[in-house]
């Protein structure tokens, strides 16, 4: 397949580009500097010039707290940009996969959120991502929305991606014990994104590693176990005690109603995926 991957400097984009290249795809990976998805003319021009089989949109404004004050920037990438790519994909009639988030849910449900649950985002980031989902589907009925959450991977700068480095340096970290999610290794997500681009079914998918999910503290404890780090470095804290600007769902574990019915294998259990990430083997290819 010839695939356009946007937001190419990002964690998921890098994993996706690497995976697609490894299976022989022709990958055009565009950074924000090369293709600003909020720029409609640039997006349409780029898509008209090249004949892609699929667009996988990994670009997003991912600063959840910063989105509370940078509302325009957040909506430009996470809502308008998602629509622009849908319009471009429609013009050239190609598959379109765009990533959304578990933060479209309010977190009141302590079980798993499926596609049957109504979104009710609490943060500007979550609202903009939901708006992006709706705009994409309205602009191009062939759009595939992939909701994921608690993503970590190589090159990632978020807490889940870097906590093992902090612990390795003997630094204490805050381990939140009352926020729950379904951890997702970017390399596993990347593979599924490619499978979905090929499947090309207009749908909302929930994609995470398998298992019952975890709290941040549970994830950190597993990192300690797997790497032999001192668990005394974990400072247990409640989510509220961090006083972060953006509200987060207390629980945003995702489950998918469609994947298995469509013959897609569940992603590896999150504990095995985490072990693989920490071993670093897949970083080298
Ligand atoms: N990380 C998570 O835990 C998580 C959870 C749920 C969903 N997601 C979703 O997963 C997707 C990938 O996230 P990620 O973790 O890989 O994010 P990331 O590492 O922050 O990468 C996002 C990339 O998008 C680029 N970008 C921002 N605005 C852009 C624009 N207007 N046009 C083109 N590129 C733009 C950024 O470039 P600059 O750095 O140059 O600005 C960055 O390289 C996003 O849709 C995100 O919302 C992530």
Residues 32-85 have pLDDT tens digits of 999 999 999 999 999 999 999 999 999 999 999 999 999 999 999 999 999 999
Average pLDDT over residues 18-22: 97
Q: 181: CA distance to ligand 1 center in Å?
A: 19
Residues of the chain with pLDDT > 70, as a percent, come to 99
Mean pLDDT of 268-285: 87
Q: 17: Cβ below 6 Å to ligand 1? A: no
Q: Residue 167: inside a domain, yes or no?
A: no
119 lines ligand 1 (CB under 6 A): no
Q: Indicate whether residue 104 lines ligand 1 (CB < 6 A).
A: no
* pLDDT per residue as tens digits for the range 102-129: 999 999 998 999 999 999 999 999 999 9
pLDDT at 92 over 70: yes
- Tell me, yes or no, if 125 is annotated catalytic: yes
Q: Write the DSSP string, 77-139.
A: IIIIHHHHHHHHHHHHT-EEEEEEEGGGS-S--SS-B-TTSPP---SHHHHHHHHHHHHHHHH
User: What does the pLDDT read at residue 284?
Assistant: 47
Distance CA 131, CA 121 (A): 10
Please indicate, yes or no, if residue 202 is contained in any of the structural domains. yes
Q: How far is the CA of 78 from the centre of ligand 1 (A)?
A: 9
Dist CA 258 CA 200 (whole Å): 13
Distance 121 CA to ligand 1 centre (A): 18
Which CATH number covers residue 82?
3.40.50.720
Determine the Cα–Cα distance for residues 143 and 137; give it in Å rounded to an integer: 6
Confidence of residue 281 (pLDDT cuts 50, 70, 90): confident
Does the beta carbon of 101 sit less than 6 angstroms from any atom of ligand 1?
A: yes
Ligand 1 proximity of 81 Cβ (cutoff 6 Å): yes
Q: Quick check: is 230 in a domain?
A: no
* Domain-located, residue 236: no
Taking a C-beta distance cutoff of 8 angstroms, is the pair 274, 219 a contact? yes
Token pair, residue 80, equals 């308008």
Contact yes or no for 102/252 (Cβ under 8 A): yes
User: Is there a domain that residue 98 lies in?
Assistant: yes
Q: Which of 58, 72, 135, 187 is the best mutation target for the ligand 1 pocket, counting ligand atoms within 8 Å of the beta carbon and taking the most?
A: 58
Q: Among 19, 75, 96, 125, which one carries the catalytic annotation?
A: 125
Q: Rounded distance, CA 66 to CA 260, Å? A: 36
Q: Is residue 176 part of a domain?
A: no
- The owner of tokens 């004050």 is 69
For position 59, what pLDDT does the model report?
A: 98
Q: How many domains does the chain have?
A: 1
One-character DSSP codes across 40-61: HHHHHHHHHHS--SEEEE----
Residue 45: domain span: 2-156+182-213+252-270
**152 pocket-lining for ligand 1 (C-beta < 6 Å):** no
Nearest residue (CA) to ligand 1, atom 8: 101
Question: Ligand 1 center to residue 231 CA distance, Å?
Answer: 31
- The per-residue pLDDT for range 186-245, each reduced to its tens digit, is 999 999 999 999 999 999 999 999 999 999 999 999 999 999 999 999 999 999 999 999
Q: 32 C-alpha vs ligand 1 centroid, how far in Å?
A: 10
Taking the CB of residue 72, how many other CB atoms lie within 10 A of it? 11
Q: Does residue 161 lie in a domain region?
A: no
**Span 7-20, mean pLDDT?**
98
Q: For 89-101, what is the mean pLDDT?
A: 98
Question: Across the strands, what pairs with 2?
Answer: 26
In Å, what is the CA distance from 77 to each residue of 21, 48, 217?
26, 20, 31
Residues 6+ apart with CB under 8 A from 212: 253
In a domain, 224, yes or no: no
Q: Which ligand 1 atom minimizes the distance to the CA of 77?
A: 31
Note the pLDDT of residue 285.
47
Greatest Cα-to-Cα distance within the chain, rounded to the nearest angstrom: 56
Ligand 1 pocket, residue 145 CB under 6 Å:
no
């Amino acid at each position: 397949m010839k695939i356009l991957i946007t937001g190419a400097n990002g964690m998921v984009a890098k994993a996706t580009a690497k995976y697609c290249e490894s299976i022989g795809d022709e990958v055009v990976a565009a950074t924000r500097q090369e293709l600003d998805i909020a720029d409609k003319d640039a997006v349409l021009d780029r898509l008209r010039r090249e004949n892609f089989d699929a667009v996988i949109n990994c670009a997003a404004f991912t600063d959840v707290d910063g989105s509370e004050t940078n509302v325009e920037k957040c909506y430009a990438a996470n809502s308008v940009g998602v629509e622009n790519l849908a319009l471009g994909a429609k013009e050239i009639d190609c598959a379109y996969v765009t990533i959304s988030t578990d933060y479209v849910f309010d977190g009141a449900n302590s079980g798993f959120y499926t596609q049957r649950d109504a979104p009710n985002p609490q943060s500007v980031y979550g609202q903009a991502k939901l708006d992006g989902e709706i705009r994409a589907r309205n602009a191009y009925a062939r759009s595939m929305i992939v909701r994921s959450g608690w993503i970590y991977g190589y090159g990632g700068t978020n807490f889940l991606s870097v906590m093992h480095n902090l612990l390795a340096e003997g630094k204490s970290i805050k381990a939140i014990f009352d926020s729950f999610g379904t951890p997702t290794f970017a390399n596993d997500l990347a593979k599924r994104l490619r499978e979905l681009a090929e499947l090309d079914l207009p749908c909302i998918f929930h994609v995470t590693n398998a298992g019952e999910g975890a709290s941040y503290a549970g994830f950190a404890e597993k990192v300690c176990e797997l790497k032999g780090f001192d668990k005394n470095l974990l400072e247990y804290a409640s989510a509220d005690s961090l006083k972060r600007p953006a509200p987060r769902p207390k629980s945003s574990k995702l489950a998918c109603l469609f994947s298995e019915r469509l013959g897609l294998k569940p992603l590896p259990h999150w504990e095995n995926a985490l072990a693989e990430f920490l071993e670093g083997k897949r970083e080298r290819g």
